[in-house]
């Protein structure tokens, strides 16, 4: 029986280097935000986002940019390097989803060493571009952009889209980053003795918990309390360690 063979993963995907040593990036958007309030109403402007993803641990980092010009993109790179540290190699897509930004970002002038390329070279990292019209080679960051879009769309459905501000958009992007980095990297075990779940956030921050969702949780109804107590009792009965802790 014939089976289709899968090609080997790139070396960057199997590297044991620190997070974001090998990084893939892409730009997505835009969103309309309120720039300022005037006598005649509200003045709107557009915002985009740059998604950086680690090629090895699949963690993401999102930066909001105000325009698609070179200076705004370099500022996002500087913020990314300041928070996550410098990268050794950067990958980006020159396919159909990135051609619209090539002129402003000067990606088409790599041979002439554009401003972006000079800044990247000064940071000691290498920039590799995928061949044109080969978006399938950028599945690492395209998949993360799709997940980020779905999470952000669900957040924007709960509020008035016309009142979205730059500060709120940055906050939502930070929460989207936290949600994506909290996804499990390996199959979740059903063994109660191994309750820990390996996530990109755990590899980045060495913390297990994630921030609670926004809202007031000071008062619980009686059915909720009974449900929580029932879950704690069931988990205590299945886990000897938890039973000794609860006793």
- Evaluate if residue 63 carries a pLDDT over 60: yes
Weakest-pLDDT range from 116-125, 135-144, 178-187, 229-238: 229-238
- Percent of the chain scored above 70 by pLDDT? 68
- Evaluate if residue 96 carries a pLDDT over 50: no
| Mean local confidence (pLDDT), 199-212 | 78
pLDDT of residue 105: 44
The pair of three-digit structure tokens given for residue 77, joined into one six-digit string: 């790179």
CATH code reported for the domain at 11-180:
3.30.420.10
Check residue 38 and give left, alpha or beta (phi > 0: left; psi -120 to 50: alpha): beta
- Evaluate if residue 99 carries a pLDDT over 80: no
| Mean local confidence (pLDDT), 72-78 | 85
| Mean local confidence (pLDDT), 13-37 | 87
Nearest Cα neighbor of 194 from 245, 238, 247, 244 is: 238
- Evaluate if residue 227 carries a pLDDT over 60: no
pLDDT of residue 159: 63
Half-sphere exposure of 206 (CA within 13 A, CB side): 0
- Which is more confidently placed, 63 or 37? 63
pLDDT of residue 16: 85
CA distance linking residue 165 with residue 162, whole number of Å = 9
Half-sphere exposure of 39 (CA within 13 A, CB side): 0
The pair of three-digit structure tokens given for residue 114, joined into one six-digit string: 């554009």
Res. 189 pLDDT band, cuts 50 70 90: confident
Distances (CA, A) of 103 to 63, 94, 191, 207: 20, 11, 53, 41
- Evaluate if residue 36 carries a pLDDT over 90: no
- Which is more confidently placed, 98 or 38? 38
Q: Could you tell me the residue ranges of all domains in the chain? A: 11-180
| Mean local confidence (pLDDT), 207-226 | 52
């Amino acid at each position: 029986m014939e089976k289709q063979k899968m090609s080997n993963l790139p070396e960057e995907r199997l590297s044991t280097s620190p997070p974001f040593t090998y990084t893939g990036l892409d730009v997505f958007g835009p969103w309309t935000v309120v720039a300022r309030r005037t006598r005649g109403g509200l003045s709107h402007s557009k915002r985009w986002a740059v998604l950086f993803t680690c090629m090895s641990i699949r963690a993401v980092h999102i930066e909001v940019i105000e325009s698609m010009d070179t200076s705004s993109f370099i500022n996002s790179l500087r913020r990314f390097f300041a928070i996550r540290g410098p990268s050794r190699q950067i990958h980006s897509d020159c396919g159909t989803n990135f051609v619209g930004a090539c002129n402003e970002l000067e990606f088409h002038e790599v041979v002439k060493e554009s401003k972006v390329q000079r800044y990247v070279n000064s940071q000691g990292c290498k920039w590799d571009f995928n061949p044109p019209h080969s978006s399938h080679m950028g599945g690492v960051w395209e998949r993360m952009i799709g997940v980020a879009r779905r999470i952000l769309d669900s957040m924007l459905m709960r509020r008035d889209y016309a009142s979205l501000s730059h500060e709120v958009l940055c906050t939502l992007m930070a929460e989207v980053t936290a949600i994506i980095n909290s996804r499990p990297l390996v199959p979740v075990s059903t063994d109660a003795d191994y309750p820990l779940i390996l996530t990109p956030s755990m590899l980045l921050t060495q913390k297990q918990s994630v921030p609670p969702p926004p809202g007031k949780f000071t008062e619980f109804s009686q059915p909720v309390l009974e449900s929580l107590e029932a879950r704690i009792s069931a988990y205590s009965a299945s886990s000897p360690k938890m039973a000794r802790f609860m006793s």
